[in-house]
Amino acid sequence: MSYISTRGSAPVLGFDDVLLAGLARDGGLYLPETWPGLSADAIRGLRGRSFAEIAVAVIHPFTGGAITRDELARMADEAYAGFGHVAVTPLVQIAPNRFVLELFHGPTLAFKDVAMQLLARLMDAVLEKRGQRATIVGATSGDTGGAAIEAFRASRRVDVVILFPDGRVSDVQRRMMTTPEEENVHAVAVDGTFDDCQSLVKSMFNDHAFRDSVALSGVNSINWARIVAQVSYYFAAGIALGAPDRPLDFIVPTGNFGDIFAGHVARRMGLPIRRLVIASNENDILPRAVATGVYEMRGVVATSSPSMDIQISSNFERYLFEASGRDAARLRNMMGSLAAARRFELGDLAASLRRDFDAASASESEVAEAIRRVREGDGYLLDPHTACAIVAADKTPASGDAVEVVLATAHPAKFPDAMQAITGERPGLPDRLFGLMTAPERFERIGNDLSEVEAFVEARARAVREVTS
């Protein structure tokens, strides 16, 4: 299994090198040269299997022999043993023909844990075999940072620096990044938005001299392994609900387009998904692109669903590459236009986008109304991101006999201030997180300046000291 860049000029790599590379050296994102699939009989054969077993069946075809099936099975068992539910990602029915897929039973109460816990083990295994270290730098709008720091805090091979927008994440999200005491993990509050943080990370990857000097790697969803790990829960949910003999609709809270692109991959692999619905908050760049055929950046609005307060949806590039027939030159032109003019036109790709996705956005008042309505009518408490998906599900037409699955991407206790403002009650954290809100914090504040951030990373990257010693 080989991987190619959406920009067309980076080296073709195997799975293990893509795992460590993150962003391609030409600024693009990696995708497999060919798509593996699971037949209907193979999907039926996974009925009754554990989440870890389903994950191995889904992920192993993408590894190209870089990781043995037995190695992957051991890592998956370890990764998901600590989740707070035996099903790892359980389904809860909240209405006739509508289920919530709870992705928040991991250690940091967000869907990012499902991929990150496995990614940490994969990276450590590859680095151990090579006798190397790596430096991870990531940007977070709230959940990726905590999940990455939690997953890698015990790593013997990786140093982690996470950039988050100062004052634009919840207190719980921040503390999940700033309270771990291990010397290999570092949280940095940047004076800017998530898009600024993400731009800094991409600039570091595109600074090849710096990238090589610190052995830079990434855990944002620019890393292909993050995407493929998330494909697993689409299959787990589908199989539990009768796939491949029952069609499915998935409604997905969407910011960086990684989670819903994982759903697109699951559909490519053979899962009978009829609808994939992009659910956005008031930062509605993706629903506007679906409606108008123009991808146009505007200012970021702070909302009660901060993980979706994004205007640059990085993984959208992967979809456009596929929809264009893998036309790298066209992708380079689109991304160049986005950098120069903050917009580009989809042209004939708009029809493909509308064929493959529905989309809707939710205002703050609609989010609050959905949380109150579902709580009072169905006895279920949504977090604001999941509430956006409920609103989008209600705004977009159902596809006949397909069962609706709404992805619950975070636990409501991660957003206590927003939840109290909406419901009048402050949801409590699970017992296993006792002490989080009183533990001492450790983080740095840095301006939105590339040289300042690079200096911070270089001072803490032990890969540098290995090379120079």
Average the pLDDT over each of 158-162, 347-351, 410-414, 431-435 and give the range with the smallest value. Answer: 431-435
| Domain boundaries, position 402 | 91-109+224-423
| Residue 257 within a domain | yes
Residue-wise pLDDT for 403-439, tens only, equals 999 999 999 999 999 999 999 999 999 998 999 999 9
Identify the active-site residue in 112, 129, 202, 395: 112
| Residue 69 within a domain | no
| Residue 76 within a domain | no
Residues in the chain: 469
The verdict on whether 202 is a catalytic residue reads: no
Residue of 365, 373, 325, 329 whose CA lies nearest to 349:
325
249 in Cβ contact with 21 (< 8 Å): no
Q: How many domains does the chain have?
A: 1
pLDDT of residue 389: 98
> The domain spanning residue 411 has which CATH number?
3.40.50.1100
How confident is residue 142, by pLDDT bands cut at 50, 70 and 90? confident
Residue-wise pLDDT for 90-117, tens only, equals 999 999 999 999 999 999 999 999 999 9
Partners of 3 in the β-ladder: 13, 32
| Residue 98 within a domain | yes
Q: What is the mean pLDDT of residues 339-356?
A: 97
Q: Which residues contact 455 (CB under 8 A, 6 or more apart)?
A: none
356 in Cβ contact with 289 (< 8 Å): no
| Residue 412 within a domain | yes
| Residue 13 within a domain | no
| Residue 286 within a domain | yes
Judged by DSSP in three states, 252 sits in strand
Residue 464 scores a pLDDT above 80: no
| Residue 408 within a domain | yes
pLDDT of residue 219: 87
